[in-house]
Amino acid sequence: MKKSLVLAMAMALGVTASAYAANPFSDVPAGHWAYDSISKLAAAGVIEGYGDDTFRGDRLMTRYEMAQIVARAMAKGANVDKLAAEFADELDKLNVRVAALEKKSDNVKITGAIRYHYKYSKRNRDGLDSNKSHENALRTRLYFNGKVNDNWKYVGRIQNEQWFHDDETPEVNHVGEDGDTRFNIAKLEGRLGGVKVIAGRDDDIFADGYIFDGEYDAVKLSYGEKWYVTGAYGKLTDINEDGPIYSKKFWNAEIGSNIDGSFVNGKVGYLKTTLGDNAKADYDNNGNVGILYVGANFNVAKDLTLDAMYLHSNRDKFKGAESKKGGYVFGLGYKGAEASEPGSWGLAAKYYHQGRGTYLAHTIDGDTDFNSGFKGWSFGGDVTLAKNMVLSATYYDTKALKGDQDDNAKTKVLWTEFNVYF
């Protein structure tokens, strides 16, 4: 949109300045029809122009630039309900609270996501050269966000899964039975001073999901944005579905950086979990599993990222098989589909080499269920077909590290999914 249109909109905001300053822009002559308004808005700090003292009033501007103007006007006390509603997404990315809208909206907001997935697997296990399987299912999630006060909110999630076809028994291979509806997120989220607090059941990842990706009951604290430190304590409930008290407790600590536009961001952390008696046999009758991880993400070129992570476990045996204590993952990504941007797309490739002690519930949809650990690669892509409708597909080729009872064990998986957000 042109700045002349934005200016007309801004004039309607009723922004006032205590005094009229001289127009600071060299390309706005004193006789221009908008001279007085531009002077008033500049004096109020709503518009700033460019570093060369120009306003460039006929230039096309982005929605983010418009959001900046709305945000500054809001800070000055202007009544901008309609503009704030139009640019709510951009204002949210600028960390601007749209207070007027929040007061008028319902106290509880409901959002959701629907995912259909299809998975094809071909396994070579126990001497079988062609053990093939298919599955497809529909998962529906509803999120409930309730405002407690200006600093705290409650978040809940209800999830239902319908299995249309599965070559194996859903009760054995999946959480719950076909058609079950579960309340699997229930948490309070807010701030105590400068510390962000999350308490309750949540769905999160550790070490980018290379150690754990799933639900846990815990208290998680974090401090800082560009440079941060986090800590969590509780139990990993997702891996408890395989049996009672698989994970009695865990704790995690991590420090790192998250600086926009930086060439590199990094993290270092440690996760320790104590397993129940029924799970100790998996780890050579020692239920204490500790994993150190160090990772980095590099912006090597425009839209091109490289990530790397090293992991080290205190366990080198799993179900009697020899396993490596170390592990590493490398990934390369180009662009990426954004649900709000139709036509956006991305590609990603990864290589994995992880001893069995370095992961508990891995994030990938390929096969990691090898007693010695696994190695392999994945390649996939995603595309936004229409706003809030994203299609993706990933191919995984993984196999056992040496030391498994079947060193030739391997699995190839094609995972596809279609996500709809509302």
pLDDT digits (tens, 9 = 90+) for 287-339: 889 999 999 999 999 999 999 999 999 988 887 788 889 999 999 999 999 99
Output the CA torsion sign for 169, 171, 177, 182: negative
Query: Which has the closest alpha carbon to 290: 316, 266, 309?
Result: 316
CB 350 within 8 A of CB 358: no
Least confident of 271-280, 369-378, 409-418: 271-280
Mean pLDDT across 399-413: 80
Tell whether the model's pLDDT for residue 17 goes beyond 50: no
Inform me whether the pLDDT recorded for 197 exceeds 90. Answer: yes
pLDDT in the model for residue 150: 85
Q: Which residue has the tokens 């490398």?
A: 330
Q: 251 by DSSP, 3-state: which?
A: strand
For residues 412 and 165, what is the distance between their CA atoms, to the nearest angstrom? 19
Instruction: Return the pLDDT at 47.
Output: 73
Find the range with the poorest average confidence among 261-275, 326-340, 396-410.
396-410
The model scores a pTM over 0.75: no
**Mean of the per-residue pLDDT values of the chain:** 82
- Name the pLDDT band for 416 (thresholds 50, 70, 90): very high
Domain positions in the chain: 3-103, 110-421
Q: 26 to each of 19, 32, 47, 125, 225, how far by Cα in Å?
A: 20, 12, 14, 75, 38
**149, burial (CB in 10 Å: exposed 0-12, middle 13-18, buried 19+):** exposed
- The residue whose two tokens read 């008696």 is 277
SS3 call for 391: strand
- CATH code of the domain made up of 110-421: 2.40.160.10
Residue 381: pLDDT over 50: yes
State how far the Cα of 280 lies from the Cα of 274, in Å rounded to an integer: 9
Nearest C-alpha neighbor of 420 from the set 109, 112, 119, 110: 112
Q: Please write the tens of the pLDDT for every residue from 329-372.
A: 999 999 999 999 999 999 999 999 999 999 998 999 999 988 88
Q: Which residue has the higher pLDDT, 418 or 105?
A: 418
> Tens digit of pLDDT for each residue in 61-112?
676 677 777 777 767 666 556 666 666 666 566 555 555 445 555 678 899 9
Q: Whole-angstrom Cα distance, residue 220 to residue 240?
A: 20
